[in-house]
Structure 1
Amino acid sequence: MTVRRSALPAAAALLLCTTLAGSAIPAQAAAAGDSLPAVTARAETAPLHDDDQGGNADADDPAIWRNAAAPDRSLVIATAKEGGLRVYDLDARQVQSLPAPAPAAPDDAPGRFNNVDLVHGTALAGARSDLAVVSDRGHDRLRVYRIDRDNPAGPLTDVTDPQAAPIFSTSQEEINEQDTAYGLATWTDPATRRSYALVSRNNRTTVALLELVARTGGTVGYRTVRTLDLPAAFRLPDGTSWAPCGEPGELPQVEGMVVDPANGTLYAGQEDVGIWRLRADLTGTPVLVDKVREYGVPAAYDEESDECAPTAPDPGHGGEHLAADVEGLTLLTEADGDGYVLASSQGDDTFALYDRETADDNEYEAGFRVAASALVDGSEECDGAAVLNAPLGRRYPQGLLVVQDGEDTPSADGRDATGFKFVDLAQVMDAVED
């Protein structure tokens, strides 16, 4: 999820999120969200639709690309699932639309773009370039795009290695089951200058470390370095075992991820569990930084309603600041280099901030929400967000926050919609620091 820091010292990244069907919002979680400070959006994109009336685009995850030569001409690159990629200017106007790849065969899964992240100043694509890297859940692959704001054909050009192999699957049949590439975070190792993508797997606890590799003709491929499986079940303080409720056969997946480049630490959001801290090279032992409120609550899945419902009272083993799902994780970096790990708390439509001055003490610091104004509605059921703490010209001189809205204002014809909201980062910083 997710955005990334620019080459400037103050640049940073922020957010992402996704909905688990059937999740319920506890009353105490909603009340906690209402008590947090609110920020409002300045602009919004045109609504996207995913329905039976011809729409196949569902807003998910944004990334902010800063044009160092002309900050006013910076871009927001966002995934639209089966609708592919959308590229917006700073007025939230669409400047490019790229389709997701077609299915391998008529009955196979179509391309489905889930998360996007950026790699800056890489020589991978034949010349030193910025890249947008996308997880294609539909085909279980990464897609890579070179960014050139001055290209008359559009700022993004597909440079994916045509021979790129599936990440987790061994056959098209497995790909069609969609236990495929899901969450995404990029990372460049400062010691080696090698660039990587960390990719999670849908319906599984697996995270893979992929090295991005230059191929002939200026294309970009990848190779798997190693994988890691986070726990699927947990020992509670009373000695019992607990596993998050879900559909039969589905394990508690990870989506939101971010790497702190200052120390090579990966933060990974296991949606129904909490936030993990571990090494970005996937070695060592993961540490659970914070838990969702629902952690440890017994629940059962009902096939008819497609929902999980508690089967016993809350035993009180969960956290206080996150309501499942925990989705977007990113870094909010301040001018002095300090800042926060920022997590999207989807269950109560809020964001939680954790101290990142020391990697072994991520103390909760504050929270906020993105609320409606007289002109633009707020963000609910966020599927992704991003922040860049760097000047972006006259529109956003102190930086920009972009959040996905999973419940955009319905169209005039009543169609459900999703979209992205653009928020002046100065509002967020004021809310965080008050």
Structure 2
Amino acid sequence: MTTHRTLRPLVPAAAAALVALALAVPAQAQPRALGGALPAVTPRAETPVLHDDEAGGNADADDPAIWRNAAAPGRSLVIATAKEGGLRVYDLDARPVQAIAAPPAAREGGAPGRFNNVDLVHGMRLTSGRADLAVTSDRGHDRLRFYRIDRDRAGGPLGDVTDPAAPAVFSRDQDEADEQRTAYGLATWTDPASGRSYALVSRRERTSIALLELLPAAGGKVTYRKVRTLDLPSAFRLPNGTSWSPCAEPGELPQVEGMVVDPADGTLYAGQEDVGIWRLRADLTGEPELVDKVREYGVPGTYDEQTEECTAGTDPGFGGTRISADVEGLTLVTETDGDGYLLASSQGDDTFAAYDREREDDNEYEGGFRITPAGGVLDGSEECDGAAALNAPLGSRYPRGLLVVQDGHDSPGDGDRPATGFKFVDLGKVMDALDD
């Protein structure tokens, strides 16, 4: 979640074309009130609370992925990041199965491992045979890390297969990596034409997205090479002729975190947290298009160094009507007939927005929903960072699929300790709510 914001100058001339594309998205004329009467769905299960302090192992829930066990769908797994707490693996009852620690700092006083986002690659060819992989961005070391998935492996279903020689994603050296403008958001993609697998990785506090080809290494390990990078805009020309940048701490640019690739056509959807949702080719060629804007788009802000907060100015009315910054937690609900939804977490009002999956329909907005408490036993989801949906039967618990979302304020908490976790939601209930 981004809270420190300031104004930015205009983007360089090289990005001018992207700015023009942003202007092509018209300002919405509808009322811009937050929330509204959206349908509510309730979770069926929640993971044990994680605490982001020394007593809790500095564990902070962030992003989930759902691995389906084709041989026994009821024994599928949810794999989730816990930042400095590493990875957590849960069964479909949200019970812990395995905990993997993030690696220590590369040197004394340096940044420790910090697992930010996770996604899956299915059936990748390694020197030891084909395997399903969990791929995570290690923000602390500016690396990707890879874990082979074997449900019945002794010691836990995940085994580390990261090549020790895997390069930094963005940093030139360890000093730069320790500054933490490093690998952040992540989405995987396998090109059906070539069979090659890739990871799209965003950079913290920058607008960059890198395309990395995933490669087998000796001994059943996995490494990668950078194919290309693309920079989204950091400033925008508004319809009234003025320039606008999201407010942030000095030196920070509007970053991307939530990302997902539609495997049907290789479309990448990227959530630039304080700007909106971009649509672009997963190979990072061609021109990005801004699908929707956050409500706060175009609102001026002044950063206060004393409070480390932004003071918003008058809203000129150029923003969207459906999502509030930060936009995060992008995931796809795919259907066999080609329909489905792109879901996005709207952190500013604790809702989720659903867009038509088909780009031919210009990813039309289809509705939204909230995840609310269930009978006083389970709480809902607030300020959701990450989400994952799987529209496939998962045994008797989730015969219509599963949606897993991060909860940024798990309750009941434990005093003043930061508390986060993940909520498991019947995807069928979500689909029913959107279809009503």
Give the TM interval when normalised to the shorter protein.
over 0.9
Residue aligning to 1:49: 51
Residue aligning to 1:132: 134
Instruction: Verify the 8 A CA contact 2:4 2:247 in the aligned structure 1.
Output: no
Partner Cα separation in structure 2 for residue 173 and residue 360 of structure 1: 46
Residue aligning to 1:120: 122
Instruction: Verify the 8 A CA contact 2:32 2:320 in the aligned structure 1.
Output: no
Residue aligning to 2:332: 331
Instruction: Verify the 8 A CA contact 1:125 1:146 in the aligned structure 2.
Output: no
Instruction: Verify the 8 A CA contact 1:71 1:392 in the aligned structure 2.
Output: yes
Q: Could you give the per-residue CA deviations for residues 121-180 of structure 1, whole angstroms, max 9, x where no partner exists?
A: 111362111100000000000000000001121100000010011110001110010000
TM-aligned CA distance change 1:29 to 1:113, over 3 Å: farther
Partner Cα separation in structure 1 for residue 44 and residue 127 of structure 2: 35
TM-aligned CA distance change 1:29 to 1:214, over 3 Å: farther
* C-alpha displacement of 1:358: 3.1
SS of the aligned residue for 2:51 comes to: coil
TM-aligned CA distance change 1:146 to 1:322, over 3 Å: same
* C-alpha displacement of 1:52: 4.7
SS of the aligned residue for 2:359 comes to: coil
Unaligned 5+ segments in structure 1 are 1-18
* C-alpha displacement of 1:29: 10
Residue aligning to 1:282: 284
- Aligned-pair identity in percent equals 73
**How many pairs are equivalent?**
411
State the TM-score, normalized to the length of structure 1. Answer: 0.92
SS of the aligned residue for 2:429 comes to: helix
Instruction: Verify the 8 A CA contact 1:29 1:348 in the aligned structure 2.
Output: no
Partner Cα separation in structure 2 for residue 139 and residue 40 of structure 1: 37
TM-aligned CA distance change 1:339 to 1:101, over 3 Å: same
Task: State yes or no: 1:396 paired with 2:378.
Answer: no
Residue aligning to 2:429: 427
Q: Write the mapping of 1:26-425 to structure 2, written as runs, cut at 5 A.
A: 32-124=34-126, 126-311=128-313, 313-359=314-360, 361-374=362-375, 375-412=377-414, 415-425=417-427
Partner Cα separation in structure 2 for residue 358 and residue 22 of structure 1: 33
* C-alpha displacement of 1:20: 1.4
TM-aligned CA distance change 1:295 to 1:283, over 3 Å: same
Partner Cα separation in structure 2 for residue 30 and residue 379 of structure 1: 22
* C-alpha displacement of 1:360: 6.3
Q: Which amino acid aligns with 1:301?
A: Y
Q: Which amino acid aligns with 1:272?
A: D
Partner Cα separation in structure 1 for residue 168 and residue 343 of structure 2: 31
Partner Cα separation in structure 2 for residue 359 and residue 274 of structure 1: 19
* C-alpha displacement of 1:39: 0.4
Residue aligning to 1:21: 3
Partner Cα separation in structure 1 for residue 68 and residue 315 of structure 2: 45
* C-alpha displacement of 1:410: 3.8
State the TM-score, normalized to the length of structure 2. Answer: 0.92
Instruction: Verify the 8 A CA contact 1:410 1:416 in the aligned structure 2.
Output: no
Partner Cα separation in structure 2 for residue 54 and residue 219 of structure 1: 31
* C-alpha displacement of 1:421: 0.7
Instruction: Verify the 8 A CA contact 1:137 1:182 in the aligned structure 2.
Output: yes
Unaligned 5+ segments in structure 2 are 6-29
Q: Could you give the per-residue CA deviations for residues 192-247 of structure 1, whole angstroms, max 9, x where no partner exists?
A: 00000000000000000000000111100000000000000001001111111000
* C-alpha displacement of 1:344: 1.1
Partner Cα separation in structure 2 for residue 36 and residue 351 of structure 1: 9
SS of the aligned residue for 2:331 comes to: strand
Partner Cα separation in structure 1 for residue 372 and residue 123 of structure 2: 36
Partner Cα separation in structure 2 for residue 29 and residue 80 of structure 1: 37
Higher mean alpha-carbon deviation, 242-251 vs 421-430, is at 421-430
Instruction: Verify the 8 A CA contact 1:48 1:419 in the aligned structure 2.
Output: yes
TM-aligned CA distance change 1:117 to 1:268, over 3 Å: same
Partner Cα separation in structure 2 for residue 191 and residue 412 of structure 1: 51
Partner Cα separation in structure 1 for residue 359 and residue 281 of structure 2: 14
SS of the aligned residue for 2:97 comes to: strand
Q: Could you give the per-residue CA deviations for residues 318-358 of structure 1, whole angstroms, max 9, x where no partner exists?
A: 00001001112121112422112111111111111111223
Q: Which amino acid aligns with 2:434?
A: V
Higher mean alpha-carbon deviation, 69-78 vs 53-62, is at 53-62
Q: Which amino acid aligns with 1:383?
A: D
Task: Point out which structure has higher relative CO (alpha carbons under 8 A, 6+ apart).
Answer: 1
Partner Cα separation in structure 1 for residue 169 and residue 238 of structure 2: 33
Residue aligning to 1:13: none
Instruction: Verify the 8 A CA contact 2:3 2:248 in the aligned structure 1.
Output: no
Q: Which amino acid aligns with 2:363?
A: N
Q: Which amino acid aligns with 2:180?
A: Q
Partner Cα separation in structure 2 for residue 179 and residue 307 of structure 1: 20
Q: Which amino acid aligns with 2:319?
A: G
